[in-house]
Structure 1
Amino acid sequence: MARTKEFDPDAALQAAVELFWERGYEATSMADLTERLGLGRASLYATFGSKHELFLRSLDRYRENTDATLLTELSQPGPALAAVRGVVRRFADEALREQRLRGCLVTNTATELAAHDRDAARRVRASWDYLETLTAGALTRAQAQGELGPEKEPQALARLLLTVMQGIRVVGKAGDDPRRITDATRLALSLLD
């Protein structure tokens, strides 16, 4: 007879998300994971596989949560341009607050692993593709609603904003001069006028 799990795998996965988000992949040891998740190594391996597999599942969970927020923000009815501006400003605000020390798990993964980890890179690209697609869709709606000039290129603007938002997150982690973030945000948003 198989033993039933004596822990909540969903809660354990969320704890892993938080730990990888705080420390990164390389700086998180198996001992750190077993301690934070409250699991023995055998249970951790049996439930989640290797550290790498757990990291990828954690990254997927993080993306599910952030993608749902972005979908809500950028797909709401009403003025679409205000929604795009709101998302860019939120990224900037997060980079200027205490969360800046953790940054974004997707952006952190891009800088730590994407160059040599194909699975991580694929997830980073998927996340950025999603943000770009949602942003381009909102900008296209803004154009159709007369909020954005007909000479503007929604797809190109979405790519620019994606790049600015990801850059804001990287610069925010260093946190040495908030003007870098505020100036970049202001100038990027001025392109929507």
Structure 2
Amino acid sequence: MARTKEFDPDAALQAALELFWRRGYEATSMADLVDRLGIGRASLYATFGSKHELYLKALDRYERSGLTRIVRELSQPGPALPAVRALLRRYAAEASHDELRQSGCLITNTASELAPHDPAATRQVERNWDHVETALHSALTRAQAQDELPADRDPLALARMLLVLMQGLRVVGKASADPARVRDATEQALALLD
């Protein structure tokens, strides 16, 4: 008869996500995970596999949560451009917020730390960026169809520029204590939508 798990795998995955997000992949040891999750090493391996597999599962959870919010924000009925502007301003505000800026964005952190040498992490980062770009492109195309965005603008090129800006805001916000830097960059980018 199989033993039942004495811990909640969902709560353990969330705790691992938070630890990886705060410390990074390389700086988080298996001992750190065992201590933080409060479960034995054997249970950790049996439930999640290796540290790398656990990281990818945590990254997937983070990605799904963030994408759900972005898609919801950008697909509201009515004018589309205000939703795009609000999303970018939210990113700028979060990048400047003292508590949030310390951890940055787990996708951005993964792109910087692991993507150069980890194909699985690169695939997840690229998949996330593709989804965000698609959501932005869809909103900007809708804005153009509703005469909110000038006809001479390229919605796909603008979506890509905004995606790069969003990732850059997370990097700069994490390293800079000057909120004007991210705020000004955001407003300049948003001016391109006029």
Superposition TM-score tier, normalisation by shorter sequence: over 0.9
**What whole-Å deviation, never above 9, does each CA across 1:145-185 have from its counterpart, x for those lacking one?**
11111011000000000011100100000124322211110
Paired AA for residue 89 in structure 1: R
Paired AA for residue 117 in structure 2: H
**Alignment identity in percent?**
67
**Partner of 1:74 in structure 2?**
74
Q: CA deviation at 1:69?
A: 0.4
**What whole-Å deviation, never above 9, does each CA across 1:39-89 have from its counterpart, x for those lacking one?**
100000000000000000000000111011011001111110000001110
**Partner of 1:54 in structure 2?**
54
Paired AA for residue 111 in structure 1: S
Distance 1:59 1:86 in 2: 25
Distance 1:177 1:87 in 2: 20
Kindly report the root-mean-square deviation, in angstroms, between the aligned alpha carbons of the 2 structures: 0.7
Q: CA deviation at 1:25?
A: 0.2
Distance 1:186 1:65 in 2: 26
**Partner of 1:118 in structure 2?**
119
**Partner of 2:17 in structure 1?**
17
Distance 2:36 2:76 in 1: 37
Unpaired runs of 5+ in structure 2?
none
Distance 1:78 1:38 in 2: 47
Distance 1:176 1:145 in 2: 38
Distance 1:77 1:104 in 2: 28
Paired AA for residue 50 in structure 2: S
The answer to whether residue 30 in structure 2 is matched with residue 38 in structure 1 is no
Instruction: Report how many residues are paired.
Output: 193
Moved over 4 A (4+): none
**Partner of 1:180 in structure 2?**
181
Distance 2:93 2:179 in 1: 10
Distance 2:174 2:109 in 1: 10
Paired AA for residue 91 in structure 1: Y
Paired AA for residue 164 in structure 1: L
**What whole-Å deviation, never above 9, does each CA across 1:106-133 have from its counterpart, x for those lacking one?**
0000000000000001100011111100
Distance 1:122 1:29 in 2: 23
Paired AA for residue 85 in structure 2: R
The answer to whether residue 92 in structure 2 is matched with residue 92 in structure 1 is yes
Q: TM-score, normalised by structure 2?
A: 0.98
**Partner of 1:130 in structure 2?**
131
